[in-house]
Structure 1
Amino acid sequence: MQHKYLPLIIAAALSAMSVGAHASGYRFGSQSVAGQGTAESNAAEANDATTIFSNPAGMSRLDGLQITAGATVVVPHSTFNDSGSTRFTGSPTGGTAASDYVPSSVTAPSFYASKKLNDQWAVGLGMFVPYGTKIQYGNTWTGRYALSDVKLESVTLNPSASFKLNEHHAFGFGIDAEFMKANLGQAVDVPGSVAALAGTPNAAALAKQIAALGGNPALLRATRDAHGSNDGKDWGWGFNLGYMFTLDKDTRFGVSYRSPIVHKLRGSTVWDFSKVTDDPIVNGVLQAASHKVNSAALVELRTPETLSVNAFHQFDSKWAGMADVTFVRHNRLGDLDIQFPGTSEGAEVIRQQWKNTVRVSLGGNYAYNENLTLRAGVAYDQSPVQNAELTHPALPDSDRMQYSIGANWKLSPRSSIDLAYSFLDFKDANINYTNKCNPLATACTGNGETTRGTYQTHLSLIGIAYNYKF
């Protein structure tokens, strides 16, 4: 019954690695409400301070001091239909159906400020939520041995600068300071472990020890799950680069790159065996036999880098078109080894093996009048998850389509409001994930469960931002 668990900190962190807005994984909301209105195809437009995120070279196009403060509300909807989840013994996990496991809504704020210093230099600062998730399956659902709950929060500070070489060439550079915090929980398969030991010398020894301490060994026939709670946090550092080529007053091309970030997530694990039976002596003996002690946990991970290529063209006084292609290098994320310093516990291996992905988006602007600009866009985004056998309940991801509309409304010559709405439609995500280590193993850690089923997911994004030019 060995099981130390920090894997969902890792899984949740990894689910957030895609750096393009609405990218595969747990990318949280949008980093630009104006960009959201065009399905994130507007990186070469560089029309406000949010260019700090998409391409810092775009600050060379902005005059004076400009700020943008926004928020995106994510409204998710997801259902899971179990198709035969089992314990490591092969018997059904039992439990309840997953329902209401995603929040009704979550909000991600953002803030950007850019300042033109002279004809060549501009500086800026971005603050945004690059990723996050909150899933609460509960302690009784059929996949509880893989995950009961997870919460991931993050924030990135992105100081940046741009240099305009001449009328055609501009360059940008930024530093990424990224904070990640995660909490998670998971059931421990005590009933399955006791059933697997039944009739063995180990089971007899447990019963004898319980009786010697004054406990009731008969309660071994009616054990319940234990539970583990974990947390972890870390700061990581990276950088982003941008280049913008202005062909003429109507046409621009951009290239941007965001580096990987190395994180060392450090956290703690707390185990609760108090509800396994109604006898604290039995519970104590079972916890000692499982070798589960409260301890630290550590995992090192490297986020994937992204490369984006984009274009913008003003067709006439009314119409503008734009496009973006973003490549995300996920394939460095192989299996993950979660270590438990200071204990004799073997590592837990999370089989990840993500693949590289591509996101393609197209969008357009229509100037309805001098005060109102309408936007629309569509995008296709691949998932890094390869197949059902490598899909985990922390990341029930799949390819998706994004459909967006938006608007910019000028309140005055200096201020405006951006509005955006997006609908993301995910393909059904099948899951057939098996933890390769069972609770009775001594050289590794794991529940040995297999989670089987199908996720059906879609979500809406509602964005609003205020822009001001000083």
Structure 2
Amino acid sequence: MAIPSQMKLIPALVLGLFANYVSASGFQLIEQNASGLGNAYAGSAAIADNASTIFYNPAGMTQLQDREFSGGMAAIGTSFKFTDQGSTIGASFPGSKLPGSGNGGDGGGWGFVPNAYLSWALNKDLYVGVGMGAPFGMKTEYDNPWIGAAQATMFDVKTYNINPSIAYRVNDKVSVGAGLSWQRLTADYTRQVGAVVGGGGALNFSASPLKLDLQDDSWGWNVGALFTVSPDTKIGVSYRSTVSYDLTGNINIVGATPVPSSDRAATASLKLPDMFILSGTHQLNTKWQLLGDVSWTGWSTIPKLDIIRTSDGSLAQTLDTEFRDAWRVAVGANYQYSSDVKLKMGIAYDQTPVKSAATRLVSLPDNNRLWLSGGAQWTPSKGSVFDFGVTYLYLKDSKIDNDQRAPAGSPSIGRGRVTGSYAASAWILGVQYSHAF
């Protein structure tokens, strides 16, 4: 009798549902402008030098001119190269191994994250604005042959985020701001599934591609405050809320016997983490400005993920991600090289939410990372500013030992045990144009 395993869906796919490419730890995207890229986003909630402050701290709009526009693009190139160290693909009983081997090539690639912002003053103290970007996201895709194909072969995800905001200047020292966020998530995912057929003690295997699409839209909110401690020193604080999703979509399998073709509905509930930022800037003299940043992301909102069969409400699988909350620390500096050119530099340490090799996913081979950043700002004329930034992300090699084999005696073939290490790195390039009018 054929025993299909197509409904043993990997809940890890839900971790990839938030924009194009991962660059910050976990699947967070903090590249919501290019003006902060050269500083490794140090001072992000306090700098308020263009309309992109709408994302990092909406209170910063009170520091802008009457009307400002900012738009840009980040190009993110990731590299995830796997080295096998004893992976076992298939169930824990003899005779049901998934055919194939190979390291899957480079699981990374290039992607683009656009952003745009517009702010305007209703009067000298009240400002409104709107921003568009993508706060979370990732993409991984492996070449064939890939020994981890039963766990994941590809994620391709896009996110759309719209963030209307308002800010009010309480007095010369204090400004406050708030906003709403509407997010739309769409994703495509593939992996290999299979079935075991037995007869007379013999076990044979047939594999087929599984494709899944999920989507949902939801709402969140953010608040912030900006304090002018002195003419040279500013402190900014901001908070972005959790965002809860009830994702819906279809699981589709088109395969050879004994895996039947199927198209079934599935759902998953997920709560994205909240985020807190504390930032500071200090104008040391006419040439040098210092920036600092400490941020916290509440990744523990994802201790596990459940995939539910819509047809009968039963549980397809639970994945214990065991994510932990994570911290990020950044310091940077700006140097006024000339009246129209400013040079930027920064460094940051970004903690991963992944606790161990046992909970690291082939779709998210994440680890702690070091940001090494530089950039420049050019002001060709009054009201027009171009920003350029580049960052190299250094990641320590990531160990993985993700065991998704079926228990001994189980009729399922499981998704195997992927054991080895990832050599990972990334480049981020950013460009932005801002205009005040």
TM range (shorter): over 0.9
CA distance, structure 2, for counterparts of residue 413 and residue 344 of structure 1: 61
Deviations, residues 153-201 of structure 1 (Å, cap 9, x unaligned): 11210111101100111101010111111110111133xx34xx4545x
User: Is residue 98 from structure 1 mapped to residue 101 from structure 2 by the alignment?
Assistant: no
Q: Which one of 76, 79, 83 corresponds to residue 78 of structure 2? A: 76
Aligned to 2:222: 240
Q: Distance in 2 between matches of 1:129 and 1:308?
A: 17
- For residues 242 and 446 of structure 1, the distance between their equivalents in structure 2, rounded to whole angstroms, comes to 51
Point out the structure with the larger helix share. 1
1:45 Cα deviation (Å)? 1.1
Name the aligned partner's letter for residue 185 of structure 2.
Answer: M
1:411 alignment partner, SS class: strand
Tell me how far apart the structure 2 counterparts of residues 112 and 310 of structure 1 sit (CA, whole Å): 21
Corresponding residue of 1:188: 193
The 5 A counterparts of 1:160-175 are 160-175=165-180
Does residue 339 of the first structure (1) align with residue 308 of the second (2)?
Answer: yes
2:385 — aligned with what?
Answer: 416
Mapping of residues 12-23 of structure 1, within 5 Å = 12-13=16-17, 22-23=23-24
The equivalent of 1:462 in structure 2 is 429
Of residues 406, 415, 418, the one that matches 1:451 is: 418
SS of alignment partner, residue 52 of structure 1:
helix
Q: CA deviation at 1:344?
A: 7.5
Output the CA distance in 1 between the equivalents of 2:130 and 2:427.
28
Give 3-state SS (helix, strand or coil) of 1:32's partner.
coil
Calculate the aligned-residue CA RMSD, in Å.
Answer: 2.3
Pairing 1:287–2:259 present = yes
SS of 1:37 mapped into structure 2: helix
CA displacement at 1:336 relative to structure 2: 1.2
- 2:46 counterpart of 1:40: no
Q: 1:412-442, CA deviations, whole angstroms, 9 ceiling, x for partnerless residues? A: 0110100000000111111111126569858
TM, length-normalised to structure 1: 0.86
SS in 2 for 1:136: coil
Number of paired residues?
428
List gaps (5 residues or longer) in structure 1: 204-219, 275-282
Distance in 1 (alpha carbons) for counterparts of 2:402 and 2:340 = 53
Q: Which residue of 2 is the match for residue 391 of structure 1?
A: 360
Is the Cα contact below 8 Å between 1:439 and 1:448 reproduced in 2?
Answer: no
Partner of 1:177, secondary structure, is strand
* Counterpart residue number, 1:261: 243
Q: Which has the larger radius of gyration?
A: 1
Q: Conserved in 1, the CA contact under 8 Å of 2:79 and 2:107? A: no
**TM-score when normalising by structure 2:** 0.92
Give the distance between the partners of 2:103 and 2:419, measured in 1 at CA: 12
Going from structure 1 to structure 2, the CA distance change for 1:455 and 1:90 (only over 3 Å counts) comes to: farther
Which segment drifts farther, 89-98 or 365-374?
89-98
CA distance in 2, matches of 1:98, 1:29: 28
- Alignment equivalent of 1:156, drawn from 156, 161, 164: 161
2:207 to 201, 225, 228: 225
Q: Structure 1 residues 22, 101: closer, same or farther in 2, change over 3 A? A: closer
For residues 152 and 38 of structure 1, the distance between their equivalents in structure 2, rounded to whole angstroms, comes to 28
Q: Which amino acid aligns with 1:179?
A: R
- Which digits, 9 at most, give the CA deviation of each residue in 1:282-329, with x for residues without a partner? x1xx235xxx74211100111111111111100111100010100111
Task: Indicate the residue corresponding to 1:30 in structure 2.
Answer: 31
Q: Percent of pairs identical after alignment?
A: 29
Equivalent in the alignment of 1:58: 60
- 1:76 shift after superposition: 1.7
